[in-house]
Amino acid sequence: MRILIIGGYGTVGGTATKALSERHEVIVAGRTRGDVQVDIADIDSIRAMYDAVPNLDAVVCAAGAVKWDTFDNLQQDDFYVGFRSKLMGQVNLVRVGQDRLNDGGSFTLTTGILGERPVPMTTSAAMVNGAIHSFVKAVTLEIRRNLRVNVVAPGLLEDSAPKLGKFFPGQTPVAMDKVGAAYASAVEGTMTGELIRVYE
Ligand SMILES: NC(=O)c1ccc[n+]([C@@H]2O[C@H](COP(=O)([O-])OP(=O)(O)OC[C@H]3O[C@@H](n4cnc5c(N)ncnc54)[C@H](OP(=O)(O)O)[C@@H]3O)[C@@H](O)[C@H]2O)c1
């Protein structure tokens, strides 16, 4: 398969790149690094990325910003950061991509454990994840050409634990290989509309 991984050099995306590049042609996109540059918050940039990388069998997205802060501090514009980037960025990858991928291709999006198990400071992050979960369920009812759409929701990754572990007291970080295997199962399997939880 020819697979585009957006954020494929990041912490989460790197697990997908490692798992899938053993068996497939992998092209990495990122905002500043990678074979192709894209800003998923900008739909014209998404269109240009698909123009630059035709003939794709699968798109994995492990990119997207969201603002963390207390509910009292988060202003409307802070919520819009996650809305424009992680939420609409991934929705637009599917909207534009449904006319670009090869028949029977797949999209694998990324959310995180916060969609179901939020911690303090994550009203925006949790909300965005939940919205993506609902989008994935609904879009599979209408998407054309047997395209599949799934979402991987990782818990805190082992490599992120030194920086972010303090926000997840009592949680055991998830092994990097387990997260990579979840992306591989979504891309190489036949599932669609699935929320693939990798919480432990
Ligand atoms: N780390 C965790 O433990 C964890 C757990 C659960 C969920 N998540 C979620 O997984 C996603 C990735 O997190 P991460 O920890 O892997 O972050 P990361 O290490 O900072 O990597 C993010 C990657 O995405 C790219 N990127 C960022 N914004 C982009 C944009 N607007 N357009 C295109 N590419 C963009 C970056 O490219 P450049 O480097 O070129 O800028 C980078 O390659 C986030 O949505 C996060 O909430 C993370």
Q: Domain limits of the chain?
A: 2-198
The helix-helix angle for 176-188 and 11-21 (nearest 10°) equals 60
Is any atom of ligand 1 closer than 6 Å to the C-beta of 61? no
- How far, in Å, from the CA of 132 to the mean position of ligand 1? 16
pLDDT category at 165 given cuts 50, 70, 90 is very high
Percent of the chain with pLDDT over 70: 100
What pLDDT is attached to residue 182?
Answer: 98
What pLDDT is attached to residue 150?
Answer: 99
What pLDDT is attached to residue 92?
Answer: 98
| 8 touches 34 (CB < 8 A) | yes
What pLDDT is attached to residue 36?
Answer: 98
Mean pLDDT across the chain, nearest whole number? 98
- How far, in Å, from the CA of 200 to the mean position of ligand 1? 20
By C-alpha distance, which of 84, 83, 102 is closest to 39?
A: 84
Residues recorded for the chain:
200
Is any atom of ligand 1 closer than 6 Å to the C-beta of 163? no
Q: What is the pLDDT of residues 16-47, one digit of tens each?
A: 999 999 999 999 999 999 999 999 999 999 99
pLDDT category at 99 given cuts 50, 70, 90 is very high
**Per-residue tokens: 114:** 């916060």
The CA-to-CA distance between both ends of the chain, in Å, stands at: 29
Is any atom of ligand 1 closer than 6 Å to the C-beta of 139? no
What pLDDT is attached to residue 172?
Answer: 94
**Which CATH code of 3.40.50.720, 3.40.50.1390, 3.30.499.10, 3.40.605.10 fits the domain covering 2-198?**
3.40.50.720
What pLDDT is attached to residue 72?
Answer: 98
Report the DSSP beta bridge partners of residue 64.
none
- How far, in Å, from the CA of 31 to the mean position of ligand 1? 10
What pLDDT is attached to residue 23?
Answer: 97
Percent of the chain with pLDDT over 90: 100
Is any atom of ligand 1 closer than 6 Å to the C-beta of 173? no
Q: Which amino acid does the sequence have at 80?
A: Y
Q: What is the pLDDT of residues 46-78, one digit of tens each?
A: 999 999 999 999 999 999 999 999 999 999 999
Q: Identify which of 31, 33, 163, 178 to mutate to test ligand 1's pocket (most ligand atoms within 8 A of the CB).
A: 31
In ligand 1, the atom with minimum distance to the C-alpha of 10 is: 21
Euclidean distance between CA atoms 51 and 171, whole angstroms: 42
Average pLDDT, integer, range 170-192? 97
- How far, in Å, from the CA of 23 to the mean position of ligand 1? 23
